[in-house]
Amino acid sequence: MGLLVGESGDAFFAGRQWLDRGMRYPDLEGGATAGGDELDAVEVERQAITAALENELEELEAVFDEDRLASIVWGSKAGARPPSPPPPKDGMLNLADVDRLCAEDAALEVKGAAGSGAALSVLAAFVVTGGGVAGARRSAIAYLGGTAGRGGDVVFDAVVAAFLGAKAAGLRRTAGDALSDLGDPRAVPLAASSLLDASPLVRWRAARILGELGEGSTVVAALKQASFDESAFDVAFEMKDAARKVAARAEGGDQQGGQGGSGFGPVWKQIRDAAGTGEGA
């Protein structure tokens, strides 16, 4: 990247530098120590990379079980896969269960069903357990975020439980995506508290939620203070941009057309509303 910036001659790179800000793998759960001693930066990075790869492997194995792999490799020779068994009574779901329940709920939505149906309730209950395969829980959380509030408090509370309580930073971030998509203003104080989360990934998402849903000088002040204390460049940038968006809304910048990108609510809602009024998204 240094050679590209220095030798390309492209005007885009004029005055820019490529800075080494370290690797962006999630923090290790419980800290990085060996025999009570703090590890050096290289060893911390190595362990963080290993932890990230192990998490990815777990999710891949959950998605591509032996039956599915055989079906991919052998095609029709493997025969039809047997139907998925009903969910166990302890509330744990595998990825096939989650996919089936999502499909059932989506079919009801197409038919105009409102409220929290049986499939949606089972998905929410699974998320609240905090157990099961991470990949299945991630898919369930993501689907709940796309329900546009149909599930009411049942869905909102389940997503909040994951956002505040999931051990894996990736799941907390996915829950943050879901909170943002739901667009419920009750997420604002939760996001504000998560500006201090141990994971930069979650702090970034918390700032994004506040940029979309936050209102008032208190939110602006919290974002500015967090940006001053933030060590990750991209997270600090998101915090500052979120503060700008909240301040712009307070000043009526959207109506004046001088503050682009400071609309209120989740992005999908901003696009839908813009399309309904004939404005460009």
Reported as a single tens digit per residue, the pLDDT across 173-213 is 999 999 999 999 999 999 999 999 988 889 999 999 999 99
Domain co-membership, 26 together with 105? no
- pLDDT higher than 80, residue 56: no
pLDDT confidence of residue 96: 84
Domain co-membership, 165 together with 219? no
> Does any domain span residue 144?
yes
Domain co-membership, 268 together with 197? yes
Domain co-membership, 215 together with 171? no
Pick 75 or 218 by higher pLDDT: 218
Pick 281 or 116 by higher pLDDT: 116
> Which of residues 184, 205, 224 is at a domain's end?
184
CA distance 232 to 230: 6
Pick 136 or 46 by higher pLDDT: 136
Query: Which of 78, 150, 156, 82 has its CA nearest to residue 110?
Result: 150
The pTM assigned to this predicted structure is 0.70
Domain of residue 46, residue span: 22-30+42-82
- pLDDT higher than 50, residue 64: yes
Domain co-membership, 150 together with 100? yes
Contact yes or no for 202/230 (Cβ under 8 A):
no
- pLDDT higher than 50, residue 281: no
